[in-house]
Amino acid sequence: MEPKRLNKFISDTGFCSRREADRLIEEGRVTVNNKLPDAGTKVTPKDKVRIDDQMLRVREEVPVFLAFNKPAGISTKTDDSVKNNIIRALNYPASLQPIGQLDRDGEGLIFLSNDTELVRKLVRGDNRLQKEYILKVDKVITPEFLDKISYMGPPEPGEVQRKHTVTKEGPSKFRILLEPNADHHIKSLCETLGYKVVHLQRTRIQNISLAKLANGHWRTLSQPEIDVLIETVSGKSSRKQEANQDEFAEARRRELAARTKTFDKNRSAGKPATSKSKTERVNSKRAASASKSTPRNAAAKPESKRTFSKDAPKGAGRNTASKPATNRSASSKNTSRKPR
């Protein structure tokens, strides 16, 4: 490992940020090999770095960035004393840190990484990312509630108030797109209007959605996906990237608006309302078709080793990144013949 600046070394251990490390160094609380370091000192893992006589160690790890579909009942705290915390649940061989918060009783998409600088950047700019949620409340939703929740949350200083896209998907169920630079504490926003959230699922963060990621499973994000997140929170997106993101967000808003009209139309006609989009319906049909074409005596797929600890919810924490996507190609059809 190449030598790195002392403040970066301290930051990589997870002890504190670079700025806080600089302050500790100035206060004389940091020693390198039992000596006070000079300005611009560089160190390696072989050096003995201490803060207030506490030895710091950096684990040699390959940077990793995961998207995890968190089940309800898992805490996003990293403290080992917390039962069913997300780190113990994943049991991933790296010193991961969750990015952002998701209540223990909530479920859905959350990111984790062992890159401390990347984690800090994304946590600091978390409210710059558009998020999509599905919520169920404790009583029937009124038109007044939908109208008020779409404008809830004061904007950031210097930002213009933007309307959140809200779609009613059941008598007490709705989907909401929380726009960037606004209050994203959706549960407290509902409570302000006299509604209690009984179920919450986060389905998308910016350009990344749950898609086919099953509950309790994780996958590794690609570098282009990570780049979009970093550029968005840092405000360094190119005009082309911003145009693409705006086009995607607008298309999603139009789709949800169309679903609202369909829901209202079906309800007035006495038909059952559906909360599935066109893409979700296509995926469901493909999954059903694939299950019918699978031989009854087919060998079961081996489970991933990335499983939860014994005290965590059963059947979760598996990696689906290596699983092939289900398709309708000829290779996926059942070619077995019945015995004569």
246 within 8 A of 256, measured Cβ to Cβ = no
Q: Which of 14, 229, 256, 250 is nearest to 110 (CA)?
A: 229
CA dihedral in degrees (292, 294, 296, 299; nearest 10)?
-150
Tell me which of 103, 138, 147, 246 is the catalytic residue: 103
Letter for the amino acid at 257? A
201 within 8 A of 108, measured Cβ to Cβ = yes
Structure token pair of residue 41: 């000192």
Cα–Cα distance for residue pair 171/141, rounded to 1 Å:
6
Using DSSP's 3-state secondary structure scheme, residue 134 falls into strand
CA 5, chain centre distance (Å): 31
Cα–Cα distance for residue pair 195/136, rounded to 1 Å:
10
SS3 content of the chain, % helix, strand, coil (to 5): 30, 20, 50
Count helices and strands in the chain by DSSP H and E runs: 9, 15
H or E element in which residue 128 lies:
none
Q: Which residue has the tokens 């509604």?
A: 195
C-alpha distances (whole Å) from 269 to each of 181, 255, 263, 264, 266 are 39, 21, 10, 9, 5
Catalytic site residue 103? Answer: yes
First to last CA, the chain: 66
Q: Which residues, including other chains, have CB under 8 Å from residue 321's CB and lie 6 or more apart?
A: 218, 219, 220
- Would you please indicate which residues are annotated as catalytic (active-site) residues? 103
